[in-house]
Amino acid sequence: MNQHHARGEGENRVAVYPGSFDPVTFGHLDIIRRAAKQFDRLIVSVLNNTTKSPLFSVEERVELLREVTKDLPNVEVDSFRDLLVRYMRNKQAQIIIRGIRSVTDFEYELQMASTNRQLDEGIETIFMMTNPKYSYLSSSIVKEIAKFHGAVQDLVPPAVEAALRNKYVPNRQP
Ligand code: ADP
């Protein structure tokens, strides 16, 4: 075990759930709630990824995550723009949480987890299987539906639904 990850008796188990969360869906929220039960602290952290062009700004995504997790006392929301393992070292976190929906997710996640292990052996990635109810659900699907003003109330919390409505105001121009 790496020196900087050594934990004494009674020390906190801190997990980080990193992602784009553009925007947070019921699929993410399900993982957040389940992970929060397993660890002392869960930090949900929005990756500030300059190569993707997101619908919501990092600040908006953080704000929505805070709103939908406000009933979970051991969950905090943050953002980062760094190597994940370095960010985690600074936060004294030892566990990465990721969700798996499909074989496609698995292949990508295996690559990410192996890379992170290569960079820092003291960090463990723990995968949580999707709730089958949400196995088809992704932020991109939600955005696609919202763009054409379809119903998303079964896919995202009300605060996110409202935020999507504001982004995709029907164009009243002729
Ligand atoms: P990223 O760009 O990092 O993949 P996402 O916001 O798309 O960010 O996803 C963050 C994490 O949440 C990933 O591990 C993804 O597999 C997981 N996830 C997304 N949607 C679901 C869902 N419906 N059920 C379970 N896990 C999910």
Q: Using pLDDT thresholds of 50, 70 and 90, give the confidence band for residue 51.
A: confident
pLDDT at 2 over 50: no
d(CA 45, CA 42): 9
pTM of the model: 0.92
For residue 31, give both structure tokens.
């993982």
pLDDT at 66: 98
- Ligand 1 pocket, 79 CB below 6 A? no
Could you give the residue numbers annotated as active site? 28, 52, 101, 139
- Give distance in angstroms: CA of 10 to centre of ligand 1: 31
- What confidence tens digit (pLDDT) does each residue in 127-165 have? 999 999 999 999 999 999 999 999 999 999 999 999 999
Binding residues: 20-21, 28, 52, 84, 98-101, 109, 134-140
- Ligand 1 pocket, 130 CB below 6 A? yes
- What confidence tens digit (pLDDT) does each residue in 52-91 have? 799 999 999 999 999 999 999 999 999 999 999 999 999 9
- Give distance in angstroms: CA of 172 to centre of ligand 1: 34
Domain ranges of the chain: 14-167
Instruction: Supply the mean pLDDT for the chain.
Output: 92
Coil, strand or helix: which one is 96? strand
Backbone angles phi, psi at 11, to 5 degrees: -80, 155
Domain with residues 14-167, CATH architecture = 3-Layer(aba) Sandwich (3.40)
- Ligand 1 pocket, 98 CB below 6 A? yes
- Ligand 1 pocket, 19 CB below 6 A? yes
